[in-house]
Amino acid sequence: MTQNTELWDVIVVGGGAAGMMTAGVAAKNGAKVLLLEKNDTLGKKLLISGGGRCNVTNAEFDTRTLLAKYKSSDKFLASSFAQFNATQSIEFFNSRGMPTVVEDLKRAFPASHKSQSVWDVLFKEMNTYGVEVRSQSPALFLERSDGAISGIKLADGTILRARSYILATGGLSHPETGSTGDGFKMLGTIGHTINPANAALVPVAVREPWIQELAGISLQDCKISLFQFEQKVHTSRGKVLFTHVGLSGPGILNSSSTIGSLIPNGDVRIELDLLPQFDYGTLNTHLQEIFKINHVKKIQNSLSDLIPRGLVSIILTLSKIDPDTACNSITRDQRITLGKSLKHFSFQVLHLLGTDKAVITSGGVPLTEVDTKNMRSKLFSNIYIIGDLLDIDRPSGGYSLQLCWTTGYVAGLAAANNKSD
């Protein structure tokens, strides 16, 4: 066992979004900071976030409305969001040379459309203020004495000491990025409660074998209806992405907990209305116009203004229409059937994918064990718990990374201010 005599002001464990943010904040506020990361590189999950584009926050500038997205955690988060909210997040990145663009549902992305831009800002900030980063340094165990953490033991036996510790080791989703639940184990061992993890925002596997042919196609705005034993039980709207095994995208992810609660009762079906902007009457008229304009064209070449080209073949198959039929030969009945297929694109649910494929996992450290102002543990006076480690339910749309920025900011600031305790 190697005893390291160096005393840090703050040791951050975990170099994901929350850990990088908090390390930069603590260092900027005068603390001598060490960041420990078990991977050879930082921020692997950050880089795959938002399909590599990183939905960096939700540009909802009314903090009350933003907080409501965190459901029952809204009151707990009020104090920290008063210190660092979506306005501050956007300002943080903009002022460090990363402009942002806001898309539908107020989702904010780097203007470069690359997660790497977010990573670059966080890394540069740490560098500017002298954070020491040690990669390939998995933390194993927290030592405690007299109601405080007295050291952290690494897998190689080294023991490191600091005045404050910030745990940012993430949850359990996409373990290949490094989030394998180590923080839950470390905190559980020293007496924190760990609420069991379940996949929270998670894609859905469906029965239709042809789904794999649709992989990669996305629909910006679908109406999503959930049926149990042919009874409609839930309706929402959002973006849908087809995968090799089923459905994903923000609209599906946000319905996944409802789908998960229906599955144990039996038969669950998802129905997509591909053209929610049209009712049946207007869709029928619209199809008539399309067929008139394209009267000599084959129907398979005439629908791509309406739906993505990759969906045309399956929609025509489901409508029992030969794709080579000329538009001027389409009968009224065929047109009505086609309209129905477009508004009732149906999938039989098999199961939710596992926690490993989830965007976030539910569960983690209950908020009752954490100080609302700064994420400090209520059990130990010098450890802070941030990011995906906290048990906070939220939808898809930039709310998870906002949580990393907010909890990272308040913990980094508080831990830095602890330095001369």
Ligand X SMILES: Cc1cc2nc3c(=O)[nH]c(=O)nc-3n(C[C@H](O)[C@H](O)[C@H](O)COP(=O)(O)OP(=O)(O)OC[C@H]3O[C@@H](n4cnc5c(N)ncnc54)[C@H](O)[C@@H]3O)c2cc1C
> Which residue in 47, 124, 138, 372 binds ligand X (CB under 6 A)?
138
- 9-48 footprint of ligand X as x/- string (CB under 6 A): ----xxxxxxx----------------xxxx----xxx-x
What is the smallest separation between the CB atom of 239 and ligand X, expressed in angstroms?
12
Of 166-174, 229-237, 238-246, 363-371, the segment contacting ligand X by CB under 6 A is 166-174
The answer to whether residue 54 forms part of the interface with ligand X (CB under 6 A) is yes
For residue 211, how far is the Cα from the chain centroid? 23
Which of 398, 373, 399, 376 has the alpha carbon at shortest distance from 386?
376
Compare residues 32 and 45 and give the one whose CB is closer to ligand X. 45
Q: How far apart are CA 166 and CA 198, in angstroms?
A: 24
Fill in the amino acid letter for 344: H
Among 110, 151, 170, 251, binds ligand X (CB under 6 A): 170
260: contact with ligand X by CB under 6 A: no
Q: Does 125 bind ligand X (CB under 6 A)?
A: no
The residue type at 315: I
Identify whether the C-beta of residue 194 lies closer than 8 Å to the C-beta of residue 184: yes
Contact with ligand X (CB under 6 A) among 34, 152, 204, 404: 404
Residue entry with tokens 């080294």: 158
Closest CA to 319 of 85, 307, 51, 191: 307
Beta bridge partners of 358: none
Residues binding ligand X: what is the number (CB under 6 A)? 39
Rounded to whole angstroms, the Cα distance separating 410 from 403 reads 11
243 versus 418: smaller Cβ distance to ligand X: 243
Q: Does 339 bind ligand X (CB under 6 A)?
A: no
One of 203, 260, 339, 398 touching ligand X (CB under 6 A):
398
DSSP string, 111-152: TT--HHHHHHHHHHHHHHTT-EEE-S--EEEEEEETTEEEEE
Sites of contact with ligand X (CB under 6 A):
13-19, 36-39, 44-46, 48-50, 54-55, 138-139, 168-170, 173-174, 177-179, 182, 359-360, 387-388, 398-401, 404
